[in-house]
Amino acid sequence: MKTIKEEFQKLKDPERATHLQRYFKTNKGEYGEGDIFLGIRVPVVRKIARKYRTISLETVSEFLQSSFHEERLFALIVLVDAFSKTNEKDREKIYNLYLNNTEYINNWDLVDISAGKIVGTYLFDRNREPIYILAKSKNLWERRIAIIATSYFINQNEFNDTVKIAEIMLEDKEDLLQKAVGWMLREIGKRDIEAEEGFLKKHYQYMPRTMLRYAIEKFPEEKRQCYLKKC
């Protein structure tokens, strides 16, 4: 672990870190309040993750609880890779480790690279109640994990859970959550436009504007304007 920590410290870039802390909204009252960046680019973090992909889950857990954003990202990349290659018993350990540490999976990039590939994949052939519990959480990131987890279901052409969770989130005030829901609805539309429009026709009159815009982003302009003008 010490060796990996030293590698991160050697690669840090204070100037870029300052930029990232603005980009990921880390000021007081913002969604990423208090997060600390080293200023290391994602491809570099991925390279480090490939180098140390065989580290133990105990070590991964320590990195997942790091105060540095890039070290948490590193941990999640390692977990996603390990999950894709291991047996069912170890997948369960990774899944449980993930859900026991959601307080550290606390920005949109961390959620988006991992929720579908771990939570969604694990629950696909199991009881999916855990994502409904997450969907009703007071924590923004747990709610985002819930909707992004369904990306795996969408990739398997199963849309029912995405639609149900989107309905739970119709009154959610968080911009980042509205964007995530709209994104998943758009992903449904790529595979089955009738399924997406079935949801839209039922809810578009009162959907949050951001959610609607993301959902219809790829529609032909005339149809998009009709939804926006609620015609």
Q: Domain check: are 223 and 204 in the same one? A: yes
Q: Domain check: are 130 and 62 in the same one? A: no
pLDDT (tens digit per residue) in 132-182: 999 999 999 999 999 999 999 999 999 999 999 999 999 999 999 999 999
Model confidence at 58, pLDDT cuts 50, 70, 90, reads very high
Rounded mean pLDDT of 7-19?
96
Query: Which CA distances in Å does 156 have to 6, 59, 121, 230?
Result: 41, 32, 10, 31
Rounded percentage of the chain residues whose pLDDT exceeds 90:
95
Q: Which of 65, 50, 70 is nearest to 10 (CA)?
A: 70
Q: Domain check: are 166 and 206 in the same one? A: yes
Q: Domain check: are 107 and 138 in the same one? A: no
Q: How far apart are alpha carbons 27 and 112 in whole angstroms? A: 22
CB 94 within 8 A of CB 86: yes
Q: Domain check: are 142 and 207 in the same one? A: yes
pLDDT (tens digit per residue) in 193-219: 999 999 999 999 999 999 999 999 999
pLDDT (tens digit per residue) in 75-113: 999 999 999 999 999 999 999 999 999 999 999 999 999
CATH number, domain containing residue 193: 1.25.40
Given 113, 140, 156, the domain boundary residue is 113
CB 69 within 8 A of CB 24: yes
Q: Domain check: are 76 and 146 in the same one? A: no
Given 62, 94, 113, the domain boundary residue is 113
Q: Domain check: are 120 and 108 in the same one? A: no
What are the start-end ranges of the H helices in 108-174?
A: 108-112, 121-123, 129-135, 140-149, 151-155, 160-168
Total structural domains within the chain:
2
Write out the residue range of the structural domain in which residue 46 sits. Answer: 1-113
Q: Which of 178, 184, 189 is nearest to 224 (CA)?
A: 189
Given 84, 113, 142, the domain boundary residue is 113
Query: Tokens for 176?
Result: 């980042």
Q: Domain check: are 92 and 183 in the same one? A: no
